[in-house]
Amino acid sequence: MSAEKSKIIYTLTDEAPRLATYSLLPIVQSFTAAAGIDVVTSDISVAARVLAEFPEFLSDEQKVPATLAELGRLTLLPDTNIIKLPNISASVGQLQACIKELQGKGYAIPDFPEDPKNDEEKSIRARYSKCTGSAVNPVLREGNSDRRAPKAVKEYARKNPHSMAEWSQASRSHVSHMHHGDFYHGEKSITLNKARDVKMELITKSGKTVILKPKVSLLDREVIDSMFMSKKALVEFYEKEIEDAHKTGVMFSLHVKATMMKVSHPIVFGHCVKIFYKDAFEKHAKLFDELGVNVNNGMANLYDKITSLPQSKQDEIKRDLHACHEHRPELAMVDSAKGITNFHSPNDVIVDASMPAMIRSGGKMWGADGRLKDVKAVMPESTFARIYQEIINFCKWHGAFDPKTMGTVPNVGLMAQQAEEYGSHDKTFEIAEDGVANITDLATGEVLLSQNVEAGDIWRMCQVKDAAIRDWVKLAVSRARNSGMPVVFWLDAYRPHEAQLITKVKMYLHEHDTTGLDIQIMSQVRAMRYTLERVIRGEDTISATGNILRDYLTDLFPIMELGTSAKMLSIVPLMAGGGMYETGAGGSAPKHVQQLVEENHLRWDSLGEFLALAVSLEDLGIKTGNDKAKLLAKTLDAATGKLLDHNKGPSPKTGQLDNRGSHFYLALYWAQALAAQTEDAALQTQFAPVAKALTENEEKIVAELNAVQGHAVDIGGYYLPDVAKTDAVMRPSATLNAALKTVAA
Ligand SMILES: NC(=O)C1=CN([C@@H]2O[C@H](COP(=O)(O)OP(=O)(O)OC[C@H]3O[C@@H](n4cnc5c(N)ncnc54)[C@H](OP(=O)(O)O)[C@@H]3O)[C@@H](O)[C@H]2O)C=CC1
Ligand SMILES: O=C(O)CCC(=O)C(=O)O
Ligand SMILES: [Mg+2]
């Protein structure tokens, strides 16, 4: 590939990162052009994905290309270089809001059929389902995951420690999970001895055969699992835990991942809401049924549905719901000022972010009175819930972690090719009738895995490909070698799936020279304890984990160490040879959008984007022999370091430096570094004028950027903001905009 044709794909996503992109991308594009690199965009926002799904409803001018599918295809090519920002994994409620906004803007897309009545509605719903939940990441993640805090970032956190609330040994906070009947307890797992096509079928007690999934093509040596969550056991568990919280006077909170686990977790969430408000749900069962109330989408759905009823009936329902609170525990709040509880929407409390936030707050969450309180954190699936109990135990005993001295815990995660639970959505089913759930070889009729299930149980099949496991082990070894840190594989020999992985890990470790490396395998609970004992002694430990723990740990440790996972470097070396550079490990920060719209202050920290861009440029430089790209990467890293040293990250407070101001400083320091270097005279000449203009106008630019704050602004939409309006809001400094144009061609 010639230097002229070099391309980096920068994704356009949603919410805060999308807004930040309006300000950052013009800076990036003007700098990278100097090295012959085109930074092109790819819109994978919810709105773009919805529009791409329904071209026949749109005029020619309104049609948009299927960018996500195209990007997915590119991940399979060796030259691909993608910078992927976090995007919304939409709940049904968010999808409906997005549809409404698009319809209001003249896009005649169909309504979302909540309760599809005919084939056409069923097909529309199925198409919309492709846009809900975690629809983007699994398509793009054709590689395993390497997430870590770069040295400069860790040093910054040590020098500028974020606040950590104290832990008391008397804290009553704890984790509650199921002890039987959940996915962990009945799991079965095998490694295939040849490639096979299988089907997933239910043989009902009444003798019917229901094909749930007609065909899944499996590769030789692939690991597959069959597991189910018993509805009966789940409901009993909720009854017991709600009662326990009420009796012992501790606040109740539910932590699931309804975004990523888009089929199973909304169901798990819905059962909890129905048990909590059991009396009201029993009394109004028929009416709720007629109205199509579905609290798998949260209490917001119920409140929305009852608005069609006469006022007196609405009041009666609300009274009955309130009455339930008398014999129920206090509920943790998402927004106590607005009265929004943990049950409002299934994606308000997302376990990977919510549990670290709780642990950072000394094991507390917000109560209805706006106070922080101890809490029973309910996570029905026991498979990974135990790691949180272990860290809570540790904090009760040792106190809060100290960001000034604690070690770091990078992660190497098994993620490629839709590994494990995070790739199971199309193979997850709510069972309609009691029976036997089989995974059966299509050619031979041989039943590979079989489970006895009952109506209401959630049954799923997970897969992980041998090539993905082999690549994961290789990545762990190379990270151990390059960092000098020990690696712990968090694998539980008592769990059938992980027992299969242990065999493979041991086998693939033999393919590498591991002399002098410290590589161990431990169950999750032991691994957590071992890692934490090292963490408090300032020692570093790489966690090598499966896909869910990759997600959980890469929020948990960064939030303890750095105050946020936004400051992580997140690399996905694509198995086909390309690279995807994710930014941070956190979400799309809906609260930040609210602050921008109300006060014109964006507190999103784009550090993750800066870090990702530097590795993306470096990789491109190496692969295409483009020395200018390498120099851009080196100077960008220097600029990021300087930005941290000078504390030019965004402040959360309106009126102070925000995301836009932080981008200005990046541009200033980057231009100065390029103008000062002597490796490439042409680049030096090109950047001298912009470095001068930015340096001379520092005060003026910062004043222009801060002066606009404090008032509400209109960006013309939430899911599809107006480009011109948002551009004006996000680029308010005429002096900065003019200076950027001085990068000589
Ligand atoms: N890779 C991806 O595409 C990911 C997408 N998501 C999606 O994002 C949405 C929201 O997820 P949720 O888990 O609630 O997380 P949030 O986006 O709400 O993040 C949690 C909190 O972390 C802080 N934070 C995260 N990133 C930054 C940043 N760059 N700069 C400053 N602060 C930051 C903010 O704290 P504060 O409010 O105190 O400033 C924020 O409220 C969901 O739709 C989820 O699916 C989630 C994770 C990864
Ligand atoms: O895709 C998603 O919904 C979120 C992914 C996530 O949380 C992560 O990868 O850390
Ligand atoms: Mg996550």
- Looking at every residue in the chain, the average pLDDT score rounds to 96
Instruction: Give 1's pLDDT tier (boundaries 50, 70, 90).
Output: very low
Atom 34 of ligand 1, residue of closest alpha carbon: 589
Strands 428-430, 458-464: pairing kind = antiparallel
pLDDT for the residue numbered 82:
98
**Would you say 358 and 375 are in contact if contact means Cβ atoms under 8 Å apart?**
yes
Dist. CA 514 → ligand 1 center (Å): 37
How many angstroms separate the CA atoms of 521 and 495, rounded?
14
Provide the H-helix boundaries in 150-284: 151-159, 231-248, 264-276, 278-283
Residue 730 is inside which H or E element, if any?
helix 723-730
Instruction: Give 3's pLDDT tier (boundaries 50, 70, 90).
Output: very low
How many angstroms separate the CA atoms of 690 and 703, rounded?
19
Strands 223-229, 447-453: pairing kind = unpaired
Tens digit of pLDDT for each residue in 77-90?
Answer: 999 999 999 999 99
Dist. CA 586 → ligand 3 center (Å): 5
Atom 9 of ligand 2, residue of closest alpha carbon: 551
CB-neighbour burial class of residue 10 (10 A; exposed 0-12, middle 13-18, buried 19+):
buried
Atom 8 of ligand 1, residue of closest alpha carbon: 587
**Would you say 180 and 233 are in contact if contact means Cβ atoms under 8 Å apart?**
yes
How many angstroms separate the CA atoms of 243 and 237, rounded?
10
Question: What is residue 202's three-state secondary structure?
Answer: strand
How many angstroms separate the CA atoms of 436 and 450, rounded?
7
**Would you say 479 and 146 are in contact if contact means Cβ atoms under 8 Å apart?**
yes
How many angstroms separate the CA atoms of 730 and 601, rounded?
10
- Using alpha carbons only, give the angle 735, 612, 520 rounded to the nearest 5 degrees: 155
Which atom of ligand 1 is the closest one to the Cα of 585? 48
Tens digit of pLDDT for each residue in 133-142?
Answer: 999 999 999 9
Atom 2 of ligand 2, residue of closest alpha carbon: 134
How many angstroms separate the CA atoms of 412 and 468, rounded?
12
Dist. CA 580 → ligand 2 center (Å): 15
**Would you say 629 and 621 are in contact if contact means Cβ atoms under 8 Å apart?**
yes
Residue of 11, 134, 570 best suited for mutating to test ligand 2, as the one with most atoms within 8 Å of CB: 134
* Torsion (CA) 131, 134, 140, 145 in degrees, nearest 10: 170
Atom 6 of ligand 2, residue of closest alpha carbon: 551
DSSP letters for 537-569:
TT---EEEE-HHHHHHHHHHHHHHHHSSGGG-E
Which atom of ligand 1 is the closest one to the Cα of 259? 45
In the chain, % of residues over pLDDT 90: 97
Ligand 2 neighbours by CB, cut-off 6 Å: 89, 134, 137, 259-260, 352, 551, 554, 585
Q: Is the dihedral of CA 534, 535, 538, 540 positive or negative?
A: positive
Dist. CA 706 → ligand 3 center (Å): 32
Ligand nearest to the CA of 584: 1
How many angstroms separate the CA atoms of 481 and 741, rounded?
44
Which atom of ligand 2 is the closest one to the Cα of 145? 9
How many angstroms separate the CA atoms of 241 and 188, rounded?
27
Dist. CA 608 → ligand 3 center (Å): 14
Show the tokens assigned to 207. 């003798």
Q: Is the dihedral of CA 650, 357, 476, 379 positive or negative?
A: negative
Instruction: Give 2's pLDDT tier (boundaries 50, 70, 90).
Output: very low
On whether the pTM is more than 0.90, the answer is: yes
Which atom of ligand 1 is the closest one to the Cα of 582? 1
Dist. CA 50 → ligand 1 center (Å): 22
Amino acid making up residue 50: V
- Tell me what the mean pLDDT of segment 459-465 comes to: 98
pLDDT for the residue numbered 742:
84
Checking if the pLDDT of 713 tops 80, the result is yes
- Tell me what the mean pLDDT of segment 551-579 comes to: 96
How many angstroms separate the CA atoms of 153 and 566, rounded?
11
User: Which single residue is written with the structure tokens 């809060």?
Assistant: 400
Instruction: Give 743's pLDDT tier (boundaries 50, 70, 90).
Output: confident
Dist. CA 546 → ligand 2 center (Å): 14
Dist. CA 301 → ligand 2 center (Å): 24
Which of 3, 460, 549, 507 minimizes the C-alpha distance to 224? 460
Residues 6 or more apart whose Cβ sits within 8 Å of residue 209: 201, 202, 203
Show the tokens assigned to 144. 């395993």
Tens digit of pLDDT for each residue in 249-297?
Answer: 999 999 999 999 999 999 999 999 999 999 999 999 999 999 999 999 9
Show the tokens assigned to 693. 């203009």
**Would you say 582 and 615 are in contact if contact means Cβ atoms under 8 Å apart?**
no
Ligand nearest to the CA of 595: 1
Atom 43 of ligand 1, residue of closest alpha carbon: 88
Residue of 137, 256, 263, 580 best suited for mutating to test ligand 2, as the one with most atoms within 8 Å of CB: 137
Dist. CA 558 → ligand 1 center (Å): 13
pLDDT for the residue numbered 115:
87
Ligand 1 neighbours by CB, cut-off 6 Å: 86-89, 137, 259, 347, 350, 353, 564, 566, 582, 584, 586-591, 603-605, 608, 652
Which of 692, 700, 699, 705 minimizes the C-alpha distance to 731? 705
Provide the H-helix boundaries in 54-188: 67-74, 92-104, 119-129, 137-140, 151-159
User: Which single residue is written with the structure tokens 């149980």?
Assistant: 457
How many angstroms separate the CA atoms of 441 and 426, rounded?
18
How many angstroms separate the CA atoms of 715 and 737, rounded?
19
Amino acid making up residue 396: K
Angle 659-676/698-707 helices, nearest 10 degrees?
A: 160
Residue 398 is inside which H or E element, if any?
helix 382-398
Question: What is residue 116's three-state secondary structure?
Answer: coil
Exposure on the CB side of residue 677, measured as CA atoms within 13 A:
23
- Using alpha carbons only, give the angle 560, 562, 567 rounded to the nearest 5 degrees: 130
How many angstroms separate the CA atoms of 333 and 361, rounded?
14
- 3-state DSSP: the chain helix, strand, coil percent, rounded to 5? 50, 15, 35
Dist. CA 564 → ligand 1 center (Å): 9
pLDDT for the residue numbered 584:
87
Checking if the pLDDT of 433 tops 70, the result is yes
Q: What is the Cα 522 distance to its own chain's centre?
A: 26
How many angstroms separate the CA atoms of 169 and 352, rounded?
24
* Torsion (CA) 492, 495, 500, 504 in degrees, nearest 10: -10
**Would you say 611 and 150 are in contact if contact means Cβ atoms under 8 Å apart?**
yes
Tens digit of pLDDT for each residue in 482-527?
Answer: 999 999 999 999 999 999 999 999 999 999 999 999 999 999 999 9
Instruction: Give 745's pLDDT tier (boundaries 50, 70, 90).
Output: low
Provide the H-helix boundaries in 209-345: 231-248, 264-276, 278-283, 285-291, 299-305, 311-324
- Tell me what the mean pLDDT of segment 305-314 comes to: 96
Atom 35 of ligand 1, residue of closest alpha carbon: 589
pLDDT for the residue numbered 5:
64
Which atom of ligand 2 is the closest one to the Cα of 555? 10
Show the tokens assigned to 157. 């956190």
pLDDT for the residue numbered 169:
96
How many angstroms separate the CA atoms of 665 and 642, rounded?
9
- Tell me what the mean pLDDT of segment 684-694 comes to: 96
How many angstroms separate the CA atoms of 34 and 146, rounded?
29
Ion ligand 3: residues, CB within 5 A, are: 352, 551
Tens digit of pLDDT for each residue in 8-57?
Answer: 999 999 999 999 999 999 999 999 999 999 999 999 999 999 999 999 99
Residue of 45, 255, 256, 259 best suited for mutating to test ligand 2, as the one with most atoms within 8 Å of CB: 259
Checking if the pLDDT of 4 tops 60, the result is no
Dist. CA 604 → ligand 1 center (Å): 9
Tens digit of pLDDT for each residue in 374-413?
Answer: 999 999 999 999 999 999 999 999 999 999 999 999 999 9
